Amino acid sequence: MPNLDRRRILSLGVALGLVGVADPTKAWAWASADSVAGTGAGVDPEYIWDSATDPLMVSLLENGQVPAVNTAMSGWVNNGDELPGGLPAELAAHLLTVNKLPSWADPAKLARAADFNRRKDTYLFMLYGLGSGIMSTVIPREARSVYWSVGGADMKDRAAKTFTFGYDLSQLDAFKPTGQFVVTANKTRLVHGAVRHLLPQSPHWKDGADQTIPISVADILVTFHSLGTFVHRKMRDWKIPMSAADEDAFLHSWQVAIHLLGVPTEYIPKTWAAAEAQSAQVLTPILAPTPEGLDLAEVLLGLTAEIDLGVTRGFLNEFVRYTLSNEVGDWLGLKRDYAAAALVRTAWPAFILFREGLSPVMPGAFYMLDQFIRALAMLFLNKGESGTTTPITIPTGNRPG
């Protein structure tokens, strides 16, 4: 990763809406008193992985058991489903331990978060898809890990699976027995464990890596902030009406989500203010372009352009710039379209006002924007083929070639 000067970091922090940005050269300084646990040892999460899952996945991979596990788990979808038969005993024992909500999960908050997601799904689709999705391509470690893992060879499938994670989290029954997020999260956690073992075997990944093992707890926190914290901040920036209870519930759903991915509670922020402080330390200072990220961004924007509906590539480029900053747009080489930029900067705020009942005037681009958002969502739901869950399978190798 290139060295990033302090001025560049502060500039990007301002562009992304951060009040303060930490110095990336300093040691881990986030206070565990601001976590869900309220206390902690203060160990840098950069050097913590998943001690419960990783040795198990090494064993399954080295013993050639993963294909059979994938077959057994293919029908395991809903949270209330019994564990599938045919799983190795150690895997079944692990899943019985982790495939459940933590004791501190608040059902009332999770229900409110589900209703909030339903009411704000229009903005969530745009922010997760064209905001967080494209931001992931300028997170160097994430871009390299995605590109050189086996999923990087089929980005349409990879995008569908990534979108499914957020989509399952947004469902009304996400954490209920009829929902799917708890199972989705636990399958994802197993995938992470496999990738931690596989990627270090890839000479391509190792050539650009600044760590010996990928997907540390710090990396998962980075992903959380590029999704949950970023989306919350942008909805506030866009002046989308949210009650304090809504905001708290939305955070709680993400607290439970990253717990299910194996993040210890001493690193899970207990408030949005604590999340912003952590994000300023772990996310903003590391954003930078990479060859892998540039390629992934072009693939993702190319997929989005497939849905058309009158939306030009220039509109997509300018919406990314509007959401993530011109600096990120320049990194990705997104060609300027000043007519589209003017449309985005005038029509989108008017679209929000009309949808929220704050203005009686329907913007001329309302129908185009509304249809585009819905098409964007369906594009990534199982590659646009249906609204069913995209299968999450444990990899057995890296990107070929």
Structural tokens at position 319: 């919406």
Q: Supply the mean pLDDT for the chain.
A: 88
For residues 193 and 56, the answer to whether their CB atoms sit within 8 Å is yes
Higher pLDDT, 363 or 389: 363
The reported pLDDT for the residue numbered 3 is 44
For residues 81 and 182, the answer to whether their CB atoms sit within 8 Å is no
Determine the Cα–Cα distance for residues 205 and 300; give it in Å rounded to an integer.
21
Q: How much helix, strand and coil, in percent to the nearest 5, is found in the chain?
A: 65, 0, 35
Using the CB atoms, write b or e for 318-337: b if 16+ within 10 Å: bbbbbbbbebbbebbebeeb
Which is it for the CA torsion 370, 375, 380, 385, positive or negative? positive
**Confidence tier at 48 by pLDDT (50, 70, 90):** very high
For residues 274 and 44, the answer to whether their CB atoms sit within 8 Å is no
For residues 155 and 142, the answer to whether their CB atoms sit within 8 Å is no
Q: Has residue 201 got a pLDDT over 80?
A: yes
Length of the chain: 401
How is residue 310 annotated by DSSP? Answer: T
Structural tokens at position 157: 């499938």
Beta carbons within 10 angstroms of residue 71's beta carbon:
12
Share of the chain above pLDDT 90, in %: 68
Q: Has residue 339 got a pLDDT over 70?
A: yes
Q: Residue 73 to residues 63, 93, 235: CA-CA distances in angstroms? A: 18, 15, 36
Q: Residue 245 to residues 110, 115, 315, 323: CA-CA distances in angstroms? A: 11, 12, 34, 25
Determine the Cα–Cα distance for residues 13 and 310; give it in Å rounded to an integer.
33
The reported pLDDT for the residue numbered 10 is 44
Structural tokens at position 101: 């909500």
The reported pLDDT for the residue numbered 6 is 47
Q: Residue 17 to residues 138, 171, 268, 284, 319: CA-CA distances in angstroms? A: 17, 28, 21, 10, 16
The reported pLDDT for the residue numbered 171 is 83
State the average pLDDT over residues 343-369.
90
Q: Which of 89-103, 257-271, 367-381 comes out lowest in average pLDDT?
A: 367-381
Determine the Cα–Cα distance for residues 398 and 401; give it in Å rounded to an integer.
9
Structural tokens at position 248: 């708290």
The reported pLDDT for the residue numbered 161 is 65
Helix count (H) and strand count (E) of the chain?
A: 20, 0
Q: Which of 32-41, 224-233, 248-257, 374-383 comes out lowest in average pLDDT?
A: 374-383
Structural tokens at position 339: 């007519």
How is residue 128 annotated by DSSP? Answer: I
Share of the chain above pLDDT 70, in %: 85
This prediction's pTM? 0.90
Identify which of 158, 269, 166, 293 has the alpha carbon closest to the alpha carbon of residue 227: 166
Amino acid identity of residue 92, one-letter, is: A
